[in-house]
Structure 1
């Protein structure tokens, strides 16, 4: 009986210690994200092109006050906030001009990157203006690039982030699917819409793999955008915008707050 009570006592003690340790680790991670600085890197999907309310000081980078990084910063009050994401950025641009604010005190880093390297703008231009076969051919070229070249470029960016911000939690966010399929919709053919969606999935898979291999969190925005694609009747993405062509195929303000921000909140 005494031996049994001793075993129970020791088991309880170990369980309590384990719970306390787990709680301490969780609390530390939360504290690091909340009290450390936040640096938002990446391309137009992070800068907020399409959301409006651009900071005039950001020039052609078109950083929006309605993009998910400033929305997160306003809600969580990090010790510092640096918003260096820029419209049109490629992996080389991140390496050359966006990493300056990173340091050992950085608690959170977010990034969307890779779409411009893969030729996003040219793919969409081809698909809007040319035939189904030309669209599919251009997409196949982009997919080959994603398979052969993009992983190494992502590795360079992710390694640089970890080197400069060794204590940060890094959240890599992806891209939405653009079209709701199987519905009547003016504009691109179903063939083009499906090829574009499949290409987005292919790009996301490549980015997610590299992020995982670097120990970074993956933020998949496709679930939050489901039901809000172009042709859904409740789109959080601009279709072709002839008045402001640069906003075409980018998230609206609702896409930033309803599509991207909740994914970051679940991964921060």
Structure 2
């Protein structure tokens, strides 16, 4: 009898140690109910393999929400992120599946509100001076207007899913400075674009923290894989597929975004 008890105790300790060693978590084991919200960086634009049922949203089977779903097998998965979305689109069009039983929400949002697509177009067409001016306008918006718009989204998510873990995903820096690119934007323009990405990340992370949400910073995982790195996980300007420009590749979602969500969820 003593031997049996000792063996049982030892097995219990081994199981507990294994759970710690291999990172088994209650959230992953329980399955849970996952909803993926946001813009093109959440839908998977740039990765290809898009869902034909919602072609304009460019929801990809290689996006980080789908990769997380495939790895963790939540009980339910709803994918409402859509390319081009701004904060009000999330509130008005994407929150349908979010409810009191939702256990995990992921979202990237704010880049379109700040006008990043227009800023990148300006940088390409108007040279360094026009680029820096447009980027400074975006940074002013990010500092003064975007926080309240993010608060509105985060409040709406929390109101519908009071118990969910919410992981707010950020954006990468676009360029490796002094990198391998010998043509294209000037180094000054590339540095300005990166500074706006950092400003966006800083505001998003601050507002996420204020709501008790978890921030997923992808700048670290993308370091060494920016445009001009020689090993880019981001599309540069795609003349014949303009909508893919400045979005992650499939490798960017699997190597840059998915590990961050996996570590935070």
Fold shared, TM-score > 0.5 on shorter chain: yes
Counterparts in 2 of 1:57 and 1:263: CA distance versus 1, 3 Å: same
Residues 178-237 of structure 1: CA distance to partner in whole angstroms, max 9, x if unpaired? 000013412111000000001100010000000000000000000000000000000000
Question: Could you tell me whether the CA contact under 8 Å between 1:109 and 1:170 is conserved in 2?
Answer: yes
Corresponding position: 1:259 with 2:256:
yes
**Aligned partners of 2:29, 2:107: CA distance in 1, in Å?**
15
Cα distance in 2, alignment partners of residues 32 and 218 from structure 1: 19
Asked if the contact 1:35/1:107 (under 8 Å) is kept, the reply is: no
For 1:194-233, what aligned pairs fall within 5 Å after superposition? Answer: 194-233=191-230
Asked if 1:154 corresponds to 2:163, the answer is no
Preserved CA contact (<8 Å) 2:38 2:85: yes
The yes-or-no answer on 1:77 pairing with 2:56 is no
> Considering only aligned residues, what root-mean-square deviation do their CA atoms show, in Å?
1.6
Which one of the candidate residues 232, 239, 244 is aligned to 1:235?
232
CA contact (8 A) 1:33 1:107 kept: no
Matched with 2:99 is 103
Question: 1:181 maps to what in 2?
Answer: 177
Structure 1 unmatched ranges of 5 or more: 1-22
Quick check: 29-38 or 148-157, which moved more?
29-38
Structure 1 residue 267: deviation in Å? Answer: 0.2
* Structure 2 CA distance for aligned equivalents of residues 106 and 32 of structure 1: 14
Check the 8 A contact 1:47/1:62 in 2, yes or no. yes
Asked if the contact 1:181/1:190 (under 8 Å) is kept, the reply is yes
Deviation at 1:129, TM superposition (A): 1.0
Cα deviation for residue 30 of structure 1 reads 2.7
Does the aligned pair in 1 maintain the 2:85–2:112 contact within 8 Å?
Answer: yes
Question: For the pair shown, which has the larger CA radius of gyration, 1 or 2?
Answer: 1
Q: Is the 8 A contact 2:180 2:229 kept in 1?
A: no
Residue 250 of structure 2 corresponds to residue 247 of structure 1: no
**d(CA) in 2 for partners of 1:58, 1:31:** 30
Q: Does the residue aligned with 1:78 lie in a helix, a strand or coil?
A: coil
Taking structure 1 as the reference length, the TM-score comes to: 0.88
TM-score, length-scaled by structure 2: 0.89
How many residues are paired up?
244
Q: Is the 2:28–2:72 Cα contact (8 Å) retained in structure 1?
A: no
